[in-house]
Amino acid sequence: MAERVLFEDVVGWLERRKLPVPPALCASGGSSSASTAAGGSATHRDAALQRALGWLALKERERRALLRFVEQREAQRRQAAAPAAPEERDGSSGDEEAAPAPSRPWPSELWPADVTYTNDYAWAAAVPAELRQKYRPSFAPRPPRACAKTFFARIDAAAEHPAAGQCGLFAAVALRHGERVIDYVGAVCAGEHEDKSSDYVCDFGEHSELALDARHVGNEARFVNDYRNTGKHQNVEFKLRRDARGELRQGVYVCAKRGVAAGEELLISYGKPYWRARVGDLSEFIYRVPGS
């Protein structure tokens, strides 16, 4: 990352929190235009970041938050610099075949070693053939292509967040109301055979007769957290859709009227039955009510 861009990120983070901006940081280019592209060696980047931190009197929690913000901004620039997917080049549905991409999205070090990364549904053999044909008439495989609209990152372990220390799904770019962000994929089985212990299961099928589980196979969408106890409102929702090949897909769509800003966490509703099965009394569980 270019030094000037890094300093701009630091200045932006300070200004958002109404913290003083050291003159040395501004003199080094922090207040200049944010149009500079990502670049520079990792060594140069780390040295510039340490220099910036040396100008700041931050608490440890603030320091971690700043480092996470800088990493997220760098991820957004990497996503933006990557070749556009078909849906972003020509306005098509994005379901066309594309050249194979890395089998795991960035940052690969956070991807669970026991989870297979894919954009395809893994159908259990026990699902009736006629049902599979109805929901997936074409069995052409999809490339394991990372989603350019999202990135996942670890949530600060000290944050007031029910998933603190775990990963969350974030918007890599600004998203508008009603926009499809990503498809939630995983293993598909008959509803009565679903894994009751999995935290990654949702209903699937036009009549909810199937279960979709991203516990051991899936894509970035598996990191989307529930909005409850975050102090924020839900901004995305599940909607079934048929893609260009007629396959039934579980889409994640923006439901917030204002849209979603770049860098904002994507939050969904897992549903009351999900939480009742785990915590019982929801009135005792929900203590951080979203602001108006």
Residue 238 dihedral angles phi and psi, to the nearest 5°: -85, 140
Per-residue pLDDT tens digits for 14-26: 877 888 888 877 7
Residue 88 dihedral angles phi and psi, to the nearest 5°: -95, -20
Last residue of a domain, one of 48, 81, 114: 81
CA distances (Å), origin 92, targets 84, 186, 243: 12, 24, 11
Per-residue pLDDT tens digits for 29-53: 543 333 333 344 566 777 788 888 8
The answer to whether residues 123 and 268 belong to one domain is yes
Last residue of a domain, one of 55, 81, 107: 81
Q: How confident is the model at residue 290 (pLDDT cuts 50, 70, 90)?
A: confident
Select, from the ranges 132-146, 158-172, 254-268, the one with the highest average predicted confidence (pLDDT).
254-268
Beta-strand runs (E) in 130-273 = 150-154, 167-171, 180-184, 187-190, 201-204, 210-213, 217-218, 225-226, 236-242, 248-254, 267-268
What is the rounded average pLDDT for all residues in the chain? 80
DSSP for residue 172: S
Count: domains in the chain? 2
Tokens coding 12: 């932006």
DSSP for residue 120: S
Rounded to whole angstroms, the Cα distance separating 100 from 10 reads 35
The answer to whether residues 146 and 258 belong to one domain is yes
pLDDT at position 153 over 80: yes
The pLDDT value given to residue 173: 92
Number of Cα atoms under 13 Å in the Cβ half of residue 221: 31
Looking up residue 232, the CATH number of its domain turns out to be: 2.170.270.10
The pLDDT value given to residue 220: 94
pTM of the model: 0.64
Indicate whether 86 belongs to any domain.
no
Domain that holds residue 240: 91-285
Per-residue pLDDT tens digits for 240-271: 999 988 999 999 999 999 999 999 999 998 87
Do residues 214 and 150 make contact, with C-beta atoms less than 8 angstroms apart? no
Q: How confident is the model at residue 85 (pLDDT cuts 50, 70, 90)?
A: very low
